[in-house]
Structure 1
Amino acid sequence: MIAPRRFLPSISSLLALEAVDRLGSASAAAEDLNLTQSAISRQLKQLEQQMEVDLIDRDQMRMQLTPGGVNYAREARDILSRLAQASVKLRANPTGGSLNLSILASFGLHWLAPRLKDFVGQHPGITVNLQTHNLPFSFDTSTAQAAIHYGSRDWPGVAYMPLMPKHVLPVCAPDLLTAPLAAVADLLDYPLLHLATHPESWEQWFAQHDVAAPRLQGMLFDQSSAMTQAAVHGLGIALLPTFLAESEIGEGRLCLAIDGPAVTSGEYYLVWPRDRVDDDPLVQFRSWLQGQIPPQEA
């Protein structure tokens, strides 16, 4: 339910408030919005009267927002940004058939994106808009209607659809090793590459092989793609998901650092806010995505 009208200020007054907060003066805000300085002052005065709250600190020599005005301006900025993005989305697809999906870069680009052509072919009226994210991520500050999540069911306020386990392999450049290592512990003699979002991955991998590996050190990356390139160029050994490692191995850019099966490390999920469960584009996407999961990984 929308709040009573008296709590809904005009967009013009919110734009004036946001510009003053962002630019620091009424004159700069006026230039930014192509208005006069007096028009900015009128918009702010109107907003104060409607809210019955002082937004301007009138003890200052120059126009300055009160602490409450600053907080309100920043809330308004988020709302105006989301409204503008909703308008762009509407213009891009007037039928309303669109889905904003936030993806983890490696999974989204290497596993999901190659399959999306099939979804588009089956649902030509639905546009899927992709945006990437790292953790932490919140639907409250994003335009995404759903997201790819990796790890465990630790995201409050969302519904989960399991996709598949994340299987990882230790890989490196072919010229880093003359042959695959014979023992898991031997990997500790080489530089290990780490993901900032999952810095414990190597420790967990070694623990699954019953090898103690305390306080591991090495280069840190914020994206699997950057870590992959570092491995390709011989900077160390990386733990990569199979959908990424196998393609690099097939092209001869990487090789297994040690022979053995892939190890399971967490799980991928599709997640969405519980209050968006009935959005038709999301319903159609979930149904299609379920059919893309290999039976042995479902």
Structure 2
Amino acid sequence: MQRRLPPLNALKAFEAAARHLSFTKAAEELFVTQAAVSHQIKALEEFLSMKLFLRRNRTLLLTEEGQAYFLELKDIFKNLQEATERLLAKGSKGAITVAMPPSFASQWLVPRISRFSIEHPDIDVRIKAVDFDEGFLEDDVDVAIYYGKGRWSGVKADKLHTEFLTPLCSPLLFNGPKPLESLSDLRHHVLLHDLSREAWKNWLKSVGVAGVNVNQGPVFSHSMLVLQAAALGQGIALGNTILARPELDAGRLIMPFEEKVASRDAFYLVCDEAQAELGKIAAFRAWILAQVEEEQNDL
């Protein structure tokens, strides 16, 4: 016996209109005209032989039948969306989009991404270097790197490295005319700041050094710009040992002092909780966490 099902477009129009209680907002969501939504609703009402909406004083209301139908369809559409997302995530081939701050992309992931491609040749990684608010996963992003304390709801967040902050400078500056024999010598040098001057202030307080003017020196919008300025001998950066690793390994930067302070924040690998163990997302998570575990002891 053939099943009688209403057209999918009509159901989509009804679900959106019922959710917003507005044909106009439903049309905006579905990228169609208000007339098209109205036509789809009318077709659905004719198919069902009942009214689904009522207009009262320019307000759109659901009939009793319409309300009951909407409650059923809402769960069906949600289940359909989740099933589709799970199916897409299970795929071991295709592309995975990873969003992260530009500093993490250039200083950590890009130098290592070829290793993932060798292990998973069927997965193409698309790196999206963006500045965004922590705790926010865009619809076109499979995995993201956030920087913070890891307190984000509704996502799976894996802490990456435990990071340390320490002064960094060019070898030319270290061997220059101004001494860098003790932390108190920082008062003779230009301090370079990442976003604000608070980081230097908190670090000096943690190591018990006073008399250094933190209210001088340029402020940069990205960590990689601070590191570049330090490598060019323009001052001393309070560097993150993770992001500074390429410059340290190449000798463009050195650590003039032994003092390090563990950062309160860290980079976290973030994805949808429901997809963390599925397909290409699981493969990328496993790879990046293995990289971190291997490198952590070298910091």
Classify the TM-score, shorter chain.
Answer: 0.5 to 0.7
| 1:49 Cα deviation from its structure 2 partner | 6.7
Q: Which residue of 1 aligns with 2:198?
A: 200
1:291 correspondence with 2:264? no
Provide, for residues 19-72 of structure 1, a one-character-per-residue CA deviation record: whole Å limited to 9, x for no partner: x9xxxxxxxxxxxxxxxxxxx9xx3543577689xxxxxxxxxxxxxxxxxxxx
| 1:232 Cα deviation from its structure 2 partner | 2.8
Q: Which residue of 2 aligns with 1:79?
A: none
Check whether the contact 2:159–2:267 (CA below 8 A) recurs between aligned residues.
yes
Residues 274 and 199 from structure 1, CA distance in 2 versus in 1: closer, same or farther, beyond 3 angstroms? farther
Check whether the contact 1:228–1:238 (CA below 8 A) recurs between aligned residues.
yes
Alignment size in residue pairs:
231
Q: Distance in 2 between matches of 1:95 and 1:290?
A: 18
Q: Which amino acid aligns with 2:127?
A: L
Normalized against structure 1, the TM-score is what?
A: 0.63
Check whether the contact 2:134–2:148 (CA below 8 A) recurs between aligned residues.
no
Q: Which residue of 1 aligns with 2:119?
A: 122
Normalized against structure 2, the TM-score is what?
A: 0.62
Q: Which of residues 23, 26, 36 in structure 2 aligns to 1:46? A: 36
Q: Which residue of 1 aligns with 2:181?
A: 182
Q: Distance in 1 between matches of 2:10 and 2:260?
A: 53
Q: Which residue of 1 aligns with 2:149?
A: 152
Secondary structure of the structure 1 residue equivalent to 2:191: coil
| 1:151 Cα deviation from its structure 2 partner | 2.8
Q: Which residue of 2 aligns with 1:280?
A: 279
Q: Which protein has the larger Cα radius of gyration, Structure 1 or Structure 2?
A: 2
| 1:250 Cα deviation from its structure 2 partner | 4.7
Secondary structure of the structure 2 residue equivalent to 1:286: helix
Secondary structure of the structure 2 residue equivalent to 1:156: coil
Provide, for residues 149-195 of structure 1, a one-character-per-residue CA deviation record: whole Å limited to 9, x for no partner: 22312223221212211223312234434265122233133221111
Q: Which amino acid aligns with 2:104?
A: F
Q: Which amino acid aligns with 1:112?
A: L
Where structure 2 has 5 or more consecutive residues not aligned to the other structure, the ranges are 1-8, 18-23, 42-52, 54-87
Q: Distance in 2 between matches of 1:275 and 1:3?
A: 29
Q: Which of residues 165, 168, 176 in structure 2 aligns to 1:168? A: 165
Q: Which residue of 2 aligns with 1:240?
A: 239
Where structure 1 has 5 or more consecutive residues not aligned to the other structure, the ranges are 21-39, 53-89
1:111 correspondence with 2:108? yes
Q: Which amino acid aligns with 1:283?
A: A
Check whether the contact 2:164–2:261 (CA below 8 A) recurs between aligned residues.
yes
Secondary structure of the structure 1 residue equivalent to 2:224: helix
| 1:289 Cα deviation from its structure 2 partner | 2.0
CA RMSD of aligned residues (A): 3.8
